[in-house]
Amino acid sequence: MAGMKVGRFPGEPATALPAMKRSMRTWVQEAIAGYLFISPAMFFLIVFLIIPILASVVLVFTDYSLLAPPHWVGLENLTRLLHDKRMFTCYRNSLLITIGATTLNNVIGLLLAMGVNRKMPGVLRYLLRTAFFFPVLTTTASLAVVWRFILTQDRGILNYLLQQIGLSPVPWLSSVRWAIPSVVMYDVWKSCGYLMVLYLAGLQGIPEVLYEAAKIDGAGRLQLTRYITLPLITPTAFFCIVISLIGAFQIFDNAYVLTEGGPGDASRTIAMYIYEMAFKRYEMGYASAVALSLLVILVAMTLLQLWASRKWVHYE
Amino acid sequence: MTSTSMAERKARLEGLSARRVGFYVGEAVVWALLIAMAVIEIAPIMWMFSTSLRNPGESFELPPDFLPTAWRWDNYLAVIRSEKIDFPLFFWNSLKIALIVTASQLLTCSLAAFAFARLRFAGRDTLFFLFLASMMVPAQVTTVPVFIIIRSLHLMDTHWALILPGMTSAFGVFLLRQFFLTLPEDLMDAAKIDGAGFFRIFWRIMLPLVGPGLSALGIFTFLGSWNNFYGPLLFLRSWDKLTFPLALVTLQGYMGMGNRAHVLAGIMMSIFPVLLFFLLAQRFVIRGIALTGLKA
């Protein structure tokens, strides 16, 4: 920088030139620094994300089993998609799991956050928050093993407890009817604490003055919830719903360990189906086609929500 | 506080009004539900913990005991010393991968996040949008090509297959950018006037100030890698390369029917490091999660 200093007599008018030169130079330096700083992240993003996405678009038009080089099959994989009954079953399962898990996770997450946000001693708040959040920290696959022990039909813990209150035991994991509810139940147990933390942050962002003002106007507790908390939590809720929908649509570990997709295909999710096509049958081209259909659905779903959010999300 | 006690005194004077009774009933219901949920969330973990310490023959006992009835730590020793399953090795495999992935993400993500938040260069916003958009792409779309890439690099059945794709994350860049944006703009200008180079500004001035962000990202990344099941399932084949979660699920297949206590002891051991991490840095985790939700 020292070289940039241009000597100037006192009183002589300063020309804009040196200053401009200097700012040009820092500007270029800043740009170079910027590209250098992002280059490591950019490199891995390109190699392991962008190239793979483009590659899977190409793979869709090929038949590739890893053993022989891929060969061009045109639109075959795409027409096969339209007639794939198993795929539609898996989409149906994923949709049911997504609806159930997203609704319950968000409703319970919000209620827990409102509960923890109440006036209470700090220790109690800490204990409750830790209890709700703890399952989030555990390994999905390993804890699914524990839940298998809880849900087994014979000598399972949940069925024992049900029988104690006079209900008949339920074949949680081995029946077509209960397999999906079991996967949803496990997912809600595992991840409602995560949403609680997000909603808690949203609740704490609501200015206290609003409540004070409404209380002075004589609003009751239900009215405070209805007219202040719920409208002002909608931006948080929007974010939470978007991420939990995307997450739930990709559920793999839960069902893989809990029910192995069964009985039959009763709880096979679309992620498990893609895994089966790619890594059990080595139909890489067709697996890519199913995967891209999932991407299209997720993007469409998110855009739809963005559009719908204008109707129900209140931005201050 | 004074207002409630005044209100109480007033209520006592006037006798309990119906509204007052309603208030207490509501309060009781809310607390009952909160405590019930806490019990539901913790009971499976308590059952796992206490069963892992029981005589293996008693792990099928009903009614289930949620509190420890015995302290058979030798179940843990039996798992660690098991001849069939080399637990210390799986533990080390998982730990090694998680630490390398975490360290490299902290570096690559903070560098990029700083540039996206505080440096001006052509195409910055477009590139950042690319990062954001890539967060939406489901793992299923990329796994097939990534599998092919890993295979053609002859990295199948090595830990590099898990480390390389985890070297950076769009989420990490996004999270840290949020932290960098909260720092005052003047700080950067002052450092520039003092003639500090950009790397120096980043390393000596900005990075120390986003410590909480780094902790949050570090914990998320460590957790994500430690808990990763799909990656190892795809890439690892040989027994001595397996990571903890995959080994646990396999272990359940081996001895799940015979010895629950040992399986549960194994799972408990997989939770210990995570629990330790969390207790040390709960604040950062919670704040980090919260920050992803704000201004999103």
Are residues B171 and B47 part of one domain?
no
Is A147 part of the contact surface with chain B (CB cutoff 8 Å)? Answer: yes
Q: Which residue of chain A is at minimal alpha-carbon distance from B274? A: A137
Mutation choice for A interface testing from B27, B97, B114, B144 by most A CBs within 10 A: B144
Residue B50's domain spans which residues? 2-72
Q: What is the CATH number of the domain that holds B182?
A: 1.10.3720.10
- Pairwise CA distance, residues B21 & B17, whole Å: 7
Are residues B95 and B37 part of one domain?
no
Are residues B221 and B127 part of one domain?
yes
Q: HSE of B209 in the Cβ direction (CA atoms, 13 Å)?
A: 17
Q: Which of B23, B41, B72 is the last residue of a domain?
A: B72
Q: HSE of B8 in the Cβ direction (CA atoms, 13 Å)?
A: 6
Number of structural domains, chain B? Answer: 2
- Pairwise CA distance, residues B211 & B217, whole Å: 10
CA distance A10 to chain B (A): 23
| pLDDT at position A11 | 44
pLDDT, tens only, B241-272: 889 888 887 776 655 445 778 888 888 888 88
Are residues B145 and B56 part of one domain?
no
- Check residue A71 and report its DSSP letter: E
Is residue A202 within 8 Å of residue A230, measured between CB atoms? Answer: no
Are residues B218 and B282 part of one domain?
yes
Are residues B192 and B174 part of one domain?
yes
Mutation choice for B interface testing from A149, A151, A280 by most B CBs within 10 A: A149
Structure token pair of residue B165: 């794709």
Q: What is the pLDDT tens value at each position of chain A, 316 positions in all?
A: 333 434 444 444 455 555 566 677 778 888 999 999 999 999 999 999 999 999 999 999 998 888 888 889 888 889 999 999 999 999 999 999 999 999 999 999 999 999 998 888 888 988 898 899 889 888 888 888 889 889 987 778 898 888 888 888 888 898 999 999 999 999 999 999 989 988 988 888 888 888 889 989 888 888 888 888 999 888 888 888 988 998 899 899 889 989 988 798 999 999 999 999 999 999 999 999 999 999 999 999 989 988 888 888 887 5
- Pairwise CA distance, residues B260 & B49, whole Å: 12
Are residues B112 and B152 part of one domain?
yes
Are residues B189 and B116 part of one domain?
yes
Is A131 part of the contact surface with chain B (CB cutoff 8 Å)? Answer: yes
The residue to which tokens 């405590």 are assigned? B35
Instruction: Please list, in sequence order, all residues whose beta carbon lies within 8 angstroms of the beta carbon of residue A273, skipping any fewer than 6 positions away.
Output: A86, A87, A90, A290
Structure token pair of residue A104: 């319950």
* ipTM higher than threshold 0.85: no
pLDDT, tens only, B38-66: 999 999 999 988 888 887 777 777 777 77
* Amino acid letter, A151: L
**Interface subset of A 71-100, CB within 8 angstroms of B:** none
- Pairwise CA distance, residues B160 & B166, whole Å: 10
Confidence band, pLDDT 50/70/90 cuts, at residue B15: low
Of B62, B140, B248, the CB nearest to A294: B140
The residue to which tokens 């495999």 are assigned? B93
| pLDDT at position A20 | 60
Is A9 part of the contact surface with chain B (CB cutoff 8 Å)? Answer: no
- Pairwise CA distance, residues A206 & A12, whole Å: 57
Q: Which of B40, B72, B104 is the last residue of a domain?
A: B72
Are residues B58 and B92 part of one domain?
no
Q: What are the chain A neighbours of B293 within 8 Å (beta carbons)?
A: 198, 201-202, 236, 239-240
Are residues B26 and B114 part of one domain?
no
Are residues B262 and B140 part of one domain?
yes
CA B23 distance to own-chain centroid: 39
Per the CB < 8 Å rule, is B294 touching A130?
Answer: no
| pLDDT at position B293 | 60
Angle between helices B87-118 and B170-181 (to 10 degrees): 50
Q: Which of B52, B72, B92 is the last residue of a domain?
A: B72
Structure token pair of residue B181: 């944006």
- Pairwise CA distance, residues A53 & B127, whole Å: 16
Is A274 part of the contact surface with chain B (CB cutoff 8 Å)? Answer: yes
- Pairwise CA distance, residues A58 & B141, whole Å: 12
Are residues B7 and B96 part of one domain?
no
Of A132, A134, A249, the CB nearest to B37: A132
Q: What are the chain A neighbours of B116 within 8 Å (beta carbons)?
A: 38
Per the CB < 8 Å rule, is A198 touching B109?
Answer: no
Q: How far is CA B36 from CA A85, A137, A151, A196, A217, in A?
A: 42, 20, 19, 16, 34
Is residue B162 within 8 Å of residue A76, measured between CB atoms? Answer: no
- Name the average pLDDT for chain B: 83
